[in-house]
Amino acid sequence: MDTKEIKSTISNLEKSTDDTTILKLLNILNDGVKPSEKVLRETKVGVAVNKFRSHENSEISNLVKKMIRNWRDAVQHEKISKKKVSGSSTPSTPATPATPSSSTNLNSIDGAKKIPTGPRNPKTDGVSTELYDNPTRNASVSALYTSLAVERGDPSELILKIASEIESEVFKSEYSKVTDSYRNKLRSFTMNLRNKKNPELRERLLTQAILAANFIKMTPSEMAPESLKKEIEKLNKQNLFDAQGATEKRAVTDRFTCGKCKHKKVSYYQMQTRSADEPLTTFCTCENCGNRWKFS
């Protein structure tokens, strides 16, 4: 296969969703690609194939691992051969064991791609989110990926897996339809996940401390950052305190006499405790002995 054919096959592979087609295209690459450092650099076929390394279909994942291993060995062998040829042409210089060059694309072949120093998204990570025929679903997966990747160094395969699981669970909850509710839910989840003050939520999802099926049932308060939860708790306590202190203002009068100690210094307040056409209820407290009573 030439470079153009390899790139065309890679393009079809990235668009495929069913296992049969993926296997077919992988086998075409396995049989047709003659691995060399130049070919792997120009086509980036190693990067494309490696995305299927953790595929749930064991036949696909095993084939990918075999292909990557064979290609890596071929590149290593190529480098060693070049070293030997170079060493024999210059006998005054002792030959040294071949070591992987820092410029070699082997890291990409092994899947250990460098994480971009700037903001991560599917494009900068070289990840395809074209998982479905529906562009809205693909855009949702892309948005979730970008949100999950904020200030994270996790493998792109893991981030894509979690993003697609969240989108899939929301889609199923909407009876497998893209509705306004679907869009609103995904928008809310994306906003919560991209919050830089909420690294705990991204951490819990990417470590699978929270599963996607449970995540989509969480309320905004449950998703909130720990710092915000503490602030909300503090406000709730303050509001409760204020509510408890916001009792009816009491007036002190000498019109009432305490039936217990016979003192006339009595505080009182009135409240509507029955229907609107009934008279107010008066609550009295003796300021001398603390005796309480009420009357209408």
Q: What would the pLDDT profile of 155-178 be if each residue is shown by its tens digit?
A: 999 999 999 999 999 999 998 999
- The residue behind tokens 């890291």 is 107
pLDDT for position 243: 59
| Ranges in the chain annotated CATH 2.20.25.10 | 251-295
Q: What would the pLDDT profile of 88-144 be if each residue is shown by its tens digit?
A: 554 544 444 444 333 333 334 444 444 455 789 999 999 999 999 999 999 999 999
- The residue behind tokens 């929270």 is 210
| Ranges in the chain annotated CATH 1.20.930.10 | 3-110
CATH fold group of domain 3-110:
Transcription Elongation Factor S-II; Chain A (1.20.930)
Share of the chain above pLDDT 90, in %: 37
pLDDT for position 116: 52
Q: What would the pLDDT profile of 11-64 be if each residue is shown by its tens digit?
A: 888 888 888 899 888 899 888 888 888 888 888 888 888 888 888 888 898 898
Which CATH number applies to 251-295?
A: 2.20.25.10
pLDDT interval class at 247 (50, 70, 90):
low
pLDDT for position 182: 95
Single-letter residue type at 76: Q
Q: Is the pLDDT of residue 205 over 90?
A: yes
The residues, ordered by sequence, that sit 6+ positions from 130 with a Cβ below 8 Å of its Cβ are 14, 15, 138
